[in-house]
Chain A
Amino acid sequence: MSAWTWLAVALLGGVGAGARFLIDSLISVRAVGDLPLGTLAVNTSGSLLLGLLVGLAVTGNALVLAGTATLGSYTTFSTWMLETQRLAEDAKSPAAVLNVLLSLLVGVGAAALGRSIGAHA
C-alpha cells in the first residue's frame, strides 16, 4: 500500500472512532436498563455495513479503507468486553451474559443480512 493509502487508513480510523463516540453518546443518554445499548447499536450497524461491502464484492484497497479502517475502528471489541465485565462485577450477571449472547447473535445476523442485501443489489 502507498503512503497515501496508509494516511487514509489513519484518517478514516479516526473518523470511525469519532462516529462511534457520537452515536454511543446519543444512544447512551437515552438508554434505560443495564445493557450498554450504545455499543450494541454501533457494533450491530457496523457489522451490517461491513457485510454490505463484502456482499457488494468490494475488494482490495477499497475494502481496506471502507471496511477494515473505517468500520473496523467504528466497531469495538474491547469496550464490549469491558462493559460486560463491569456488569458482572456490579452483580448484574444476567445482563452481562445477555450482553454477550445478544451482541453475537445480532452481530452475526447483521453481517449475514448486510452481505445478502449487497449480493442481491
Chain B
Amino acid sequence: MPHLDRREIAAIFLGGAIGSLLRVWLGRTFSTGVADWPWATFAINVSGSFALAYFATRLQERLPQSTYRRPLLGTGLCGAYTTFSTMQIEIVQMIDHDRYGLAGAYALCSVLAGYLAICAATALVRRVRVIA
C-alpha cells in the first residue's frame, strides 16, 4: 500500500465532487436520446482532456512543485469530470439499436478529438516561454 497523504486524498475528493457536479449538470441540461450521438459526454470528455493536459503539463514542466494542485485539478477535477464508463454504455446501446456506424464513429471521434485536445493543450503550455 502506498503512503497515504490525507490532504492529498481530500484534494482528490474535493476535485472529484466538483467534476461530478459539472458532468451531471451538463448531462441533464444537454440530454440526448438513447443510441443518439451523446453530445454532452463527447464535449465533456474532449474539454476535460484539454484541461487535464493543460494542468498536468503546466504543473509538471512550468510551475514550482506543488503537492495538492495535481490531485485537486488533475486526478480529482478532470478525472471525475470526464468519464469512460458512460461512454462504454452509450456504445453498447448504439450497438443494441443496430447503429454500428454511429457506435464506431462515436468511439473513433472521441479518441481522436480527446487525443488532439491533449496534444493541443500540451503544445500550448510548452510554447509559452518561461520568463526567469
Contact = CB atoms under 8 A, between A and B. Distances in A.
B1 A81 contact: no
Nearest to B41: A77
A74 to B, nearest CB: 7
Given A76-B80, A79-B52, A82-B118, A16 B86 contact: no
B88 A107 contact: yes
Contacts of B111: 81, 100, 104
A84 B114 CA distance: 10
A51 B48 contact: no
Nearest to B75: A21
A115 B86 CA distance: 13
Among B17, B56, B111, B114, the most chain A Cβ lie within 10 Å of the Cβ of B17
Contacts, number: 180
A26 B1 CA distance: 6
A107 to B, nearest CB: 4
Given A72-B23, A73-B16, A76-B84, A51 B9 contact: no
On chain B, which size bracket covers the interface? 35 or more
Given A26-B1, A81-B117, A85-B115, A50 B88 contact: yes
Contacts of B95: 108, 112
Among B27, B74, B83, the most chain A Cβ lie within 10 Å of the Cβ of B83
Contact of B85 (A12, A13, A25, A46): A46
A85 B122 contact: yes
A22 to B, nearest CB: 8
Interface string A1-33: 100001001111111111011000110010000
Contacts of A107: 84-85, 87-88
B85 A111 contact: yes
B84 A73 contact: no
A49 B25 CA distance: 22
A7 B107 CA distance: 32
A100 B112 CA distance: 10
Interface of B: 1-2, 9, 12-21, 23-24, 27-28, 45, 48-49, 51-53, 56, 71, 74-76, 78-89, 91-92, 95, 107, 110-111, 114-115, 117-119, 122
17 contacts: A9-B20, A13-B21, A14-B14, A16-B16, A17-B76, A17-B80, A18-B12, A54-B89, A72-B23, A73-B23, A77-B82, A78-B51, A78-B79, A79-B79, A85-B53, A100-B111, A115-B89
